[in-house]
Amino acid sequence: MKHECLGEVNCSVARTWAVIGDRWTMLIIREAFRGTHRFDGFQQRLGVGRNVLSNRLARLTEEGIFERNRYQEAPDRYEYRLTQKGMDLYPVLLTLMRWGDRYKIDEPPVRLYHKDCGELASPELRCSHCGQLVDFHSLSAEYAPDAW
């Protein structure tokens, strides 16, 4: 199965994976959340090849995750900003980070504070209906007949 074919399969995880499931894409997005918006910024901070980066930025722009904005004229210069669709990947980033914090690192290099309450935040998944914490065991999954 080709990587792009994942995008056609009837599974939300696989389709998302077809977009971000390669070596660099998610790290480029993470870098954008961190405040990097320009080509050379991404390139230097990540150490990713210029051709790869060029390709990813184009794909992510086409996908609607980045918006390419001109921030200067003559010569024209562009930067990449996350769209709402891109921002909505934040929960993915956050859960990746929390797992890494827990299992792959001693001292988490990033701390998140919740602006509203001012406290160190460790976001957690709760049921939208009753507000209880949810994990794998507390949910039951129902698969459509044609689910991949």
Residues 5-64 that bind a second copy (CB under 8 A): 6-7, 10-17, 19, 21-23, 26-27, 30, 33-34, 46-48
**Inter-CA distances, 5 with 18, 93, 119, 145, Å:** 8, 24, 43, 20
Buried b (16+ CB within 10 A) or exposed e, 117-138: eeeeeeeeeeeeeeeeeeeeee
Determine phi and psi for 48, rounding to 5 degrees: -85, 145
4 part of the interface to a second copy, by CB under 8 A = no
Q: How far is the CB of 39 from a second copy (least distance, A)?
A: 18
**Cα(92)–Cα(23) distance, rounded to whole angstroms?**
15
Contact of 86 with 57, CB cutoff 8 Å: no
Site for a second copy in 96-135 (CB under 8 A): 96-105, 107-117, 119-132, 134-135
Figure out which of the listed residues 18, 80, 82, 86 binds DNA, where binding follows CB under 7 A.
Answer: 80
- Residue 74 or 103 with smaller CB distance to a second copy: 103
Tell me the window of 74-82, 84-92, 111-119, 126-134 that interacts with DNA (CB under 7 A): 74-82
- Told to check if 143 binds a second copy by CB under 8 A, we report yes
Q: Which of 7, 10, 34, 49 binds DNA (CB under 7 A)?
A: 49
